[in-house]
Amino acid sequence: MAGKENKVKYNIKNVHVAKLTEAEEPGGQIQYAVPKPIPGAVSISLDAEGEVSTFYADGIAYYVTSANNGYSGDLEMALIPAWFREEILNEEKDSKGVLIENANNKTNPFALLFEFDGDQRGIRRCLYNCTTTRPSIESETKEDTVEPGTETLSLTASPRSDGLVKAQTGPETDETAFKDWYKTVYAPAPGEATVRKEK
């Protein structure tokens, strides 16, 4: 589908998470659970990770390359739901329905899907391999007005074992792919997301 480029983006919304599992053998199959929504997106701020490496020869920068190590930063939400604490943070629910955090339980990787509004069309994104720290515990006493607290996840979005980091829609994104973005984690057709070779 051809369309106009957005001039601006604003308003994060439609945050979804899909648990990632990968077979242990090298090159093992990567699978995702059905994305689940987390309502209450407040803000997201992710910085690109990776350094520029420069090789000097003949008195010039002879060869320059940059590493893509993904992104890291914060996702602020109104409240982290109980299912996320169980499925991703690996908190355990006991027989009385109480969630128990155990230091011996590691968090699980996941895909993060979300959207920005644009002046022409929404921009939908998927980070394929995210890990997160536990959110801090904080709140304030109620005063004359109620100010809801928020919870922040510190995220690291690393390249998958096959190199994929991120996908996002654009002005020419197929209408079906755009519409179904939150039904399953988007997978490029085989061979369409390989390493680009210099011509």
Residue 1 pLDDT > 70 = no
Which helix (H) or strand (E) segment is 60 a member of? strand 60-66
Where b means 16+ CB within 10 Å and e means fewer, 29-64 reads: ebebbebbebebbeebebeebeeeeeeeeeeeeeee
pLDDT digits (tens, 9 = 90+) for 84-139: 999 999 999 999 999 999 999 999 999 999 999 998 899 999 999 999 998 887 66
pLDDT digits (tens, 9 = 90+) for 137-191: 766 666 666 667 889 999 999 999 889 999 999 999 999 999 999 999 999 887 6
Indicate the pTM of the whole model. 0.84
Residues 6+ apart with CB under 8 A from 169: 121, 122, 123, 124, 125, 177, 178, 181
- CB-based contact 59:149 (threshold 8 Å): no
pLDDT digits (tens, 9 = 90+) for 3-31: 788 898 889 999 999 999 987 666 678 99
Percent of the chain predicted with pLDDT > 70: 87
Domain boundaries, given as residue ranges, for the chain = 9-179
pLDDT for the residue 139: 64
Q: How far apart are CA 83 and CA 94, in angstroms?
A: 14
pLDDT for the residue 9: 86
